[in-house]
């Protein structure tokens, strides 16, 4: 894959934007927030185009960057309450049905994000929301598989502890 | 959770997304034949996004460029004042020196600012090297250079005083940053990776005893880099580990 230039960047956007948007919508239910994050991913892609030299690197970078952006914005509460509740329920693998459950869910997410280092949340999103295998998570995050297992194990410990205190 | 096979035996979304971009493995293709859900996902990715989205991305990039320029314009008076002070210091009358101390050494200045960015690719994840992070065997290195006013660049891998290897030599355009076309794989040999980047105006014959001590001939800038190497990515957790 040749380095991205003005012409190939637009072609890359046309082909890859739908998959980034789909990934953002798995993390966030709302279309507006998901579109906003997906576009920011491409703004960053242009700035870091030197990092991309093949298609696997492109998809790995898009997954990693969109996950980071969602975690950052969720920490800063830049999303609607419904989207935060959706992200938490997607991480926990359970649906939230009513407004009370949504309230509890987003409060749990707030505590989780305050307590949990970003790589643990990143690995959990890639595993639970995007169904990536451990080798795929290791590839996207640029770490070893043992590290992935450790990150996911710690994430589960933290969520378990938070649920106990709740 | 200790293992994570894809739930419900579906491939991961990453594998499906890669298949939609034209990299379907036989396994994925076989799964999609019998799975309507995965077929639907891949089909949904074929719809092109509205053109207005790309226009917005471009607008954001332009807006960020303009705001950078605004900051530069705001800093211009400060830079001009600093330049004035430097000029005054340089041109103020000097006390007379004893004969023989002036004019013996020709002044050779560096032309412009030279910069080197080192990108490290580990697996599929690429990152700008932070000056500290250890490399692993199999990582790939790629260099981006700003040659300042120089016209030629040579890149060497220096394993030891007897074994410098030329990795790249070629012309560059002054004032234009360039990403070198080649990427280099980190080997499994013990010891740090040592790179030496030489900026000049024409191809050079290295004088290794001097170059390894950082002594550059007039009109040449040498930038050495020592990149530490680690044996296993899991020993320190790799990138992004708390």
What is the distance in angstroms between the Cα of B28 and the nearest Cα belonging to chain A? 14
Subunit contact A143:B44, Cβ cutoff 8 A: no
Subunit contact A140:B125, Cβ cutoff 8 A: yes
Q: Is A132 helix (H, G, I), strand (E, B) or coil?
A: coil
Subunit contact B53:A17, Cβ cutoff 8 A: yes
pLDDT in tens, B136-184: 888 888 888 888 888 899 998 887 666 688 888 888 888 888 888 788 8
Please tell me the predicted confidence (pLDDT) of residue B109: 45
**What residue of A is the nearest CA neighbor of B145?**
A50
Assess whether pLDDT exceeds 60 at residue A101: yes
Q: Interface pTM (ipTM) of the complex?
A: 0.90
pLDDT in tens, A67-78: 999 999 988 877
pLDDT in tens, A133-161: 999 999 999 899 999 999 999 999 988 88
Task: Name the E strands within B42-181.
Answer: 115-122, 125-128, 135-136, 140-146, 152-158, 164-171, 178-179
Subunit contact B142:A146, Cβ cutoff 8 A: no
Q: What is the sign of the dihedral through the CA atoms of A57, A58, A60 and A65?
A: positive
- pLDDT per residue of chain B (242 residues) written in tens, 0 to 9: 434 444 458 999 999 999 998 867 888 889 999 999 999 999 999 888 888 888 889 888 888 888 777 777 777 777 777 776 666 655 555 555 444 444 444 444 455 578 888 888 887 777 888 888 888 888 888 888 888 888 899 998 887 666 688 888 888 888 888 888 788 888 888 888 888 899 998 888 888 878 887 788 888 888 888 888 887 665 444 443 33
Q: Give the pairing type, strands B164-171 and B152-158.
A: antiparallel
User: C-alpha angle B203/B204/B205, rounded to 5°?
Assistant: 135
Please tell me the predicted confidence (pLDDT) of residue A117: 92
pLDDT in tens, A16-65: 999 999 999 999 988 899 999 999 999 999 988 877 878 888 999 999 99
Q: Which helix (H) or strand (E) holds B194?
A: strand B193-200
For A147, the closest of B1, B7, B237 (CB atoms) is B237
Subunit contact A50:B119, Cβ cutoff 8 A: yes
For A146, the closest of B23, B234, B240 (CB atoms) is B234
Q: Are A147 and B233 in contact (CB under 8 A)?
A: yes
Band the pLDDT of A2: cuts 50, 70, 90.
low
Question: How many residue pairs bridge chain A and chain B with CB atoms within 8 Å of each other?
Answer: 170
Best to test chain A binding among B4, B18, B146 (most A CBs inside 10 Å): B4
Q: Are B204 and B198 in contact (CB under 8 A)?
A: yes
Provide, as residue numbers in chain A, all residues whose Cβ is less than 8 Å from the Cβ of B11.
131
The two tokens of residue B117 are: 């960015």
User: Which residue's entry shows tokens 């890639």?
Assistant: A126
The two tokens of residue B154 are: 């040579």
């Amino acid at each position: 894959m040749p380095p991205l230039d003005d012409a190939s960047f637009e072609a890359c956007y046309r082909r890859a934007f739908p998959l980034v948007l789909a990934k953002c919508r798995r993390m966030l239910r709302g279309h507006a927030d998901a579109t906003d994050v997906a576009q920011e991913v491409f703004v960053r892609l242009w700035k870091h185009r030197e990092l991309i030299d093949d298609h696997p690197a492109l998809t790995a970078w898009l997954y990693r960057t969109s996950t980071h952006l969602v975690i950052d914005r969720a920490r800063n509460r830049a999303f609607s309450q419904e989207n935060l509740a959706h992200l938490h329920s997607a991480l926990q693998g359970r649906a939230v049905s009513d407004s009370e459950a949504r309230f509890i869910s987003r409060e749990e997410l707030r505590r989780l994000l305050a307590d949990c280092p970003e790589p643990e949340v990143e690995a959990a999103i890639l595993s639970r929301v995007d169904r990536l295998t451990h080798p795929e998570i290791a590839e996207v995050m640029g770490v070893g598989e043992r590290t992935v297992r450790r990150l996911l194990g710690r994430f589960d410990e933290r969520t378990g502890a938070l649920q106990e205190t709740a | 959770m200790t293992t994570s096979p894809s739930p419900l035996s579906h491939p991961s979304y990453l594998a499906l997304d890669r298949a939609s971009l034209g990299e379907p493995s036989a396994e994925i293709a076989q799964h999609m034949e019998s799975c309507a859900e995965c077929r639907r996902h891949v089909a949904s990715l074929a719809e092109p996004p509205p053109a207005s989205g790309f226009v917005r991305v471009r607008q954001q990039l332009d807006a960020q460029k303009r705001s950078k320029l605004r900051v530069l314009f705001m800093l211009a008076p400060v830079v001009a004042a600093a330049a004035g002070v430097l000029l005054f210091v340089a041109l103020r009358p000097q006390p007379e020196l004893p004969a023989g101390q002036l004019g013996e050494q020709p002044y050779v200045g560096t032309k412009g600012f030279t910069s080197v960015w080192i990108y490290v690719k580990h697996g599929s994840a690429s990152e700008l090297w932070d000056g500290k992070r250890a490399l692993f065997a199999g990582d790939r290195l790629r260099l981006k250079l700003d040659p300042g006013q120089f016209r030629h660049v040579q890149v060497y891998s220096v394993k030891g005083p007897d074994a410098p290897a030329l990795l790249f030599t070629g012309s560059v355009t002054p004032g234009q940053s360039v990403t070198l076309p080649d990427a280099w794989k980190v080997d499994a040999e013990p010891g740090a990776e040592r790179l030496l980047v030489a900026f000049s105006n024409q191809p050079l014959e290295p004088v290794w005893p001097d170059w390894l001590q950082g002594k550059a001939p007039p009109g040449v800038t040498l930038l050495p880099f020592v990149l530490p190497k680690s044996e296993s990515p899991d020993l320190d957790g790799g990138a992004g580990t708390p």
